[in-house]
Amino acid sequence: MNESAEPGSWDGPWYRVHTERFEAAFLPEMGEDLDTVDDIDVEVRLGDGSRWSATICTVAHVETLMKRWAASGEALGGRYFWRSDGLIVRDAGIGNMVQVLAGLIDNGEFTQILNRLDD
């Protein structure tokens, strides 16, 4: 997994990262530190033109939500977490998330995990 990524650039609200095999367009909150992002939507365009999407969040973010829900009563008192388009990663930051996306392409799991978007 030696994916060469150009530093990202802003395109309106999107933060785009170009690699040799894909472009990832992240949608961070205004003013959010890109190195500490722990919950973000991404659209990925592969070299063949296909588009894919996911919401990527960290294990720590899931834990924070589940603790909050334990107090509020949501999700059976925080006893589960479910997201149809979710990809949970260990480490925060867009750079780490790009590495995970590249790794999913390398190991053949990308199309099983992300949701294909209709054009």
Its domain, for residue 53, covers 9-117
Is there a domain that residue 46 lies in?
yes
Is 42 a domain residue? yes
Within a domain: residue 29?
A: yes
The confidence score (pLDDT) of residue 4 equals 56
Three-class secondary structure assignment of the chain: CCCCECCCEEECCEEEEEECCEEEEEECCCCCCCCCCCEEEEEEEECCCCEEEEEEEEHHHHHHHHHHHHHHCHHHHHCCCCCCCEEEECCCCHHHHHHHHHHHHHCCCHHHHCEEECC
95 inside domain? yes
**What's the structural domain count of the chain?**
1
In-domain check, residue 2: no
Tens-digit pLDDT string for the chain (119 aa): 445 566 799 999 999 999 999 999 999 998 999 999 999 999 999 999 999 999 999 999 999 999 999 999 999 999 999 988 999 999 999 999 999 999 999 999 999 999 999 86
**Does residue 30 fall inside a structural domain?**
yes
Please report whether residue 3 resides in a domain. no
Q: Is residue 104 one of the residues assigned to a domain?
A: yes
